[in-house]
Amino acid sequence: MPYVPHSADDVRRALDAIGLKHEDALFDDLPAALRDPPIDLPEPLDEVALLRRVRELAGLDQRDTPSFLGAGARQHFIPAVTPRLAFQSEFVTAYTPYQPEVSQGVLQATFEYQTMMAELTGLPISNASLYDGASSVAEAALLAVRQTRREKVLVSRGVHPETIEVLQTYLWPLGLELEVLPLESLATPVPVVADDVACVIVQHPNFVGTLEPMPAIAQAAHAAGALLVAAVDPLSLAVVASPAEYGADIAVGDGQPLGNPVGFGGPSFGFMVVTEPLLRQLPGRLVGQTSDVDGRRGFVLTLQAREQHIRRSKAKSNICSNHQLTALMATVNLAALGPHGLREMAEGSVRRAHQLAHALRVAGGHVLSGDRFFNEFVLRIDRDPVVLRHQLAERGLRAGVPLPEGFGLGNAVVVSATELTTREDIGALVQALTSLGVIKGAVRPEVSA
């Protein structure tokens, strides 16, 4: 569709209709410093020079250097078949199609995605994905409020700090109360849940990698009539108990570990899987299997009241689409790996993370996490985490996600390892931290295979 600008008369009539004299008044709620900030742009380039500059910038991306970054986005093995199939022209869309008569392939792939997420979490009903892990947590809280007709939400400090910020953004305009539960020894203590609480939200493994006491928290929530929302790492479900096993009502999370590369924070997708009593409160799209007039299997969007899309005040949610392509990548990835391959990846991540933590301890590093962590842990350091991050980057290592002040641990970073982390990578990080004086480096640890 070509861009057709508004004429001066169009703009004038629109402003008259809403009672404003000029366009700038539309943005009076924004701070003045944000409305028209100075932008220092270079001189324009011709196409040849522009392509040369873009290649120079792309060359700055150190894609092959060891990475120990985690805290929500990690590098994992992605089979070549995943992008090969997902990027077929008929699949390259962010949307779930409305028209089943011309969209059976995409609808079937989405149905397969829902089936895989249900099998992974143990809960029966998955939607067709959401925007990201943070918005899926917020949508789960709103679902719990609708279902229980209560207006208070408990969230563990162990939930990703950025997710808690998104949760606050969702709940505040609705006048809903949000209480953050502090951690004890890097884990969430079993909370006292009052009868005005709609849900308890716990991330498992949590932001610092620790495994939470989920069965006990589920029991406490259910005893008070509240729901348990489990924000889970989908890869961890190959080796730890599923949300269904410890009694979660809603499982949510970010699907980045399932076949989506790390690319400056995205794109990824969020998932939500619920128990059957919550089906009618489920936000977003749901693809169902049916039969056509000739008895042939077909797929359609189902259980969708039209007002969800055209009458905002009646909607269960204002999530009106999903991240179809990235969810499809997860579907292809899971199919390619199979349950055994997924478990091997998860076990490899656990093994390498524990080997790294051991190597750092032996070399004098102050590892705060105990033995109950998945593939991330906390390392206390003697300097500003941001400074350390830059120092390691200068040595060709990506490591050290700063731990926010709200955790009360002072200067500390989250360190991660995956199945892609090698013995040489671990040795390089230990050596770099030793040369920087972060750890003593008294012993050069040997890392087993």
| Dist. CA 365–CA 286, nearest whole Å | 48
Q: What's the pLDDT at 24?
A: 87
Q: What's the pLDDT at 142?
A: 95
Q: Residues 359, 422: contact at Cβ < 8 Å? A: no
| Dist. CA 64–CA 67, nearest whole Å | 9
CA 192 to chain centre: 28
Q: To which residue do tokens 């508004």 refer?
A: 6
| Dist. CA 308–CA 435, nearest whole Å | 58
- Angle between the N-to-C axes of helices 104-121 and 324-362, in degrees from 0 to 180, rounded to the nearest 10: 30
pLDDT digits (tens, 9 = 90+) for 23-72: 889 998 889 888 888 888 889 999 999 999 999 998 887 677 899 999 98
Q: Residues 234, 255: contact at Cβ < 8 Å? A: yes
Q: What's the pLDDT at 225?
A: 97
Nearest to 254 by CA among 276, 236, 228: 236
Q: What's the pLDDT at 306?
A: 45
Q: Which residues of the chain have pLDDT under 50?
A: 306-307, 443-445
Class of domain 81-331 as given by CATH: alpha beta
338-435: same fold as 81-331?
A: no
Q: What's the pLDDT at 52?
A: 96
Domain coordinates in residue numbering, the chain: 81-331, 338-435
Q: What's the pLDDT at 96?
A: 66
Q: What's the pLDDT at 304?
A: 67
Q: What's the pLDDT at 37?
A: 86
Q: What's the pLDDT at 307?
A: 46
Cα dihedral 127, 129, 131, 135, rounded to 10, equals 50
CA 136 to chain centre: 8
| 227, 273, 314 from 126: Cα distances, Å | 17, 4, 22
b/e burial code for range 298-335 (CB count within 10 A of at least 16 → b) = bbbbeeeeeebeeeeeeebbebebbbbbbbbbbbbbbb
Q: Residues 148, 306: contact at Cβ < 8 Å? A: no
3.40.50.300, 3.30.413.10, 3.90.1150.10, 3.30.200.20: CATH of 338-435: 3.90.1150.10
Q: What's the pLDDT at 227?
A: 98
Q: What's the pLDDT at 117?
A: 97
